[in-house]
A and B are shown apart, each in its own frame.
Chain A
Amino acid sequence: MDLISSIVSLTFIAQVIRLMTPFYLGASAANFSERGGVINISIEGFMNLSAFSFAVFSIATGSILLGFIMAIAINLLFSLLFAYFTVKLKLDQIVTGVGFNLLSAGITKFLMVYIFKSSSNTERFEGLPDLNFFESIPILGSIFSDYITIFTFALIFISGFVLFKTRFGLRLRSAGENPWAAESLGVNVRKYKVYGILISGFLSALAGMWLASNQNSYSDGMIAGRGYIALAAMIIGKWKPVNIFFACLMFSAFEALEISLQVSGTDIPAQLIQMLPYLITVLVLIGFIGKTRPPAADGVPY
């Protein structure tokens, strides 16, 4: 009974919505890259790197703002490198993604030990400041207490607008659907692919920072597969901003449930709940909720 009441409570719902933030940012990051035709399976690595650099620079400079700027800058550089490999050299995107994930994990583990003399945790830092604007409103106040979550909600509409209503979006999507046709109309396909990847780097930076800020530190392995779940959410959401939002809500509900389970100490094994998002993804892909279709030239080096 405890469990059920805790699930239907408002705090639980608020929790679900808050936990949705990194998923949605990660999924949108992947989406902007894939809409341009570049599969980016290193969202996990991107998030990891930004969470780490945010923590390091916030602690080192004592300024959250500087940490924020540095994390974004480093992720943009990292995504530029990713673009160099996948767009300029036209390397296989999956292998490159695997390489970037290894590299990101390697860099952060190495620097953790080198800088903090610990293989698990950085010291604590303050994290992003709270936004007090909605404070007086009961639930909204707790959901919209940080800037990144608010931006995430705005992003649902922004990415829909950008992808489907603007010149940039049309051209980005054309690069992902049929780069040859786009090029024949004078669209600079490679440029748009690079933009897509850079947006991907920016949004995954926000996701990583939110996670680090949420626990007021960086710890090894803290992304814990969220980058991959974000990919899954993008696929289940059929590459559409609003659908992705609902897929992310589902995944964050699982995470919130897992947390409630651990707190309430029921018999339901946490591992099985942990497994659910991935299992559901596979089931969805097999076709339990209709066919999903990626951009036609997704993953094709151009």
Chain B
Amino acid sequence: MNLKTKINLISVSVSLVITLLIFSLIILLIGQNPAGILSIILNDVFATGYGMGQTLFKATSLIFCACGLAICFHVALFNIGAEGQLNAGSFVIALVAVYFADLPFPIVFLFCLVSGFIVSGIFGLIPAYIKIKKDVSEVITTIMFNFIILALVNFFLLDFFAVKSTMRTEKISENFMLTKLSDFMPFFSGSSLNVSFILALAVAVISYILIYKTKFGYELRAVGFNKTASKFIGLNVNKITLIAFFAGAGLTSLSGINFIFGYKGFYEMGFSSNIGFTAIAVALLAKNNPIGIIFSSLLFSILEYGGLSVNQQVPKEIMLVVQGVIILAILSVDKIVNNYFERRL
């Protein structure tokens, strides 16, 4: 094991311990028993097929979204616009599936994948393009685009496409719904876990290979590490940045596949419940490594599902606090551990 992996492991585990301590402290402060709460969470998540299925279902969307963000982050630019990007793509995915209900499933599905990817991708492309052409911080433009996209989707949805007096599109054809994993693994019965999860794992593996084992990945990371040197080495920095933001933002649209094709069958305002932001934390925790993202997504979905299972004892919103603590803990511990090793070397 090389030093870097060791440092990463140390800082991840230390920050998880810190988070656990803060979590326990809060539980104690509100007069509950941390051990008891933890055991309820673990029991619910791991002891029941339903709990596990729900956890993996929630992880699916996070994996898609965080992998997309990881690709963006590798060029050392921020993308805080995933929330908007994934909503734009998902909305289009639902519309395509609803309006081409007569076509055979494979064609519609492919069409949905492509159109969702492109729409989300374009909303990633625009801030990157503005960054390159006008040197305007992508941080601020992606934030602004979140609001712009959500308002636009909201407008088109409510004024044109929504089912009367709801905030959702019509349902897609029942034949289009993705197979639930419980169909061939009864263990998961009742949960929304569907084949998107397999797709998510595949996306993570492919993203990993793309980032770490291909020419494009090397170029991507080179641009992220040192833009000037990349230019001198002869890389087309702008092109690489644009591709990364298009592809990264495009991937976030797959969260919509999980929700629409795998669960509800329609697009609904607010379906994403901030996974575009949570995914930032997920990607950071995994150091933008897609394989790591599988695990950090699991952690975050355990937190979310676990929150539901202890809601009787502790408001489930405590898990939002925990998520915030995790991201700050990993950031600071990582820095402190790195500083420590730097001084010793």
Contacts and interface: CB of A to CB of B under 8 A. Distances in A.
Contact of A271 (B80, B144, B154, B336): B154
A294 to B, nearest CB: 8
Contacts of B331: 85, 89, 91-92, 95-96, 99
Contacts of A39: 139
A91 B334 CA distance: 10
B315 A275 contact: no
Contacts of A107: 321, 324
A282 B315 contact: no
A101 B146 CA distance: 15
Contact of A106 (B30, B145, B154, B320): B320
Interface in A39-62: 39, 41
A113 B317 contact: yes
B30 A286 contact: no
Contacts, number: 130
B324 A94 contact: no
A203 interface: no
Contacts of B215: none
A70 interface: no
A159 to B, nearest CB: 21
B187 to A, nearest CB: 32
Contacts of A287: 134
Nearest to B329: A99
Tell me what chain B mostly uses at the interface: helix, strand, loop, or mixed. Answer: helix
Given A85-B331, A89-B332, A271-B152, A228 B147 contact: yes
Nearest to B339: A89
A109 B317 contact: yes
A243 B159 CA distance: 37
A285 B136 contact: yes
Given A89-B335, A110-B320, A232 B148 contact: no
Contact of B332 (A91, A102, A113, A286): A91
Nearest to A224: B147
B140 interface: yes
Interface stretch (B85-93, B189-197, B277-285): B277-285
A106 B321 contact: yes
A110 B321 contact: yes
Nearest to B153: A271
Interface string A74-92: 0000000000010001111
A102 B323 contact: yes
A112 B328 contact: no
Contact of B327 (A41, A102, A278, A286): A102
Nearest to B335: A89
B148 A110 contact: no
B318 interface: yes
B144 A281 contact: yes
Contact of B152 (A94, A275, A282): A275
A11 interface: no
A103 B335 CA distance: 19
Nearest to A228: B143
Interface in A195-243: 225, 228, 231-232, 235
Nearest to A294: B137
Nearest to B147: A278
A99 B324 contact: yes
Contacts of A286: 130, 134, 136
Nearest to B26: A110
17 contacts: A89-B336, A98-B281, A103-B324, A106-B319, A107-B324, A109-B320, A110-B317, A110-B320, A114-B30, A231-B143, A271-B158, A275-B151, A278-B145, A278-B148, A285-B136, A286-B130, A294-B137
Interface of B: 30, 78, 80, 130, 134, 136-137, 139-141, 143-145, 147-148, 151-152, 154-155, 158-159, 277-278, 280-281, 284, 314-325, 327-328, 331-332, 335-336
Given A98-B327, A235-B140, A294-B137, 6 more contacts: A41-B143, A89-B332, A94-B78, A106-B322, A109-B315, A228-B144
Closest 10 CB pairs of A and B: A103-B324, A106-B320, A113-B315, A275-B151, A106-B321, A110-B317, A271-B155, A109-B317, A102-B324, A278-B147
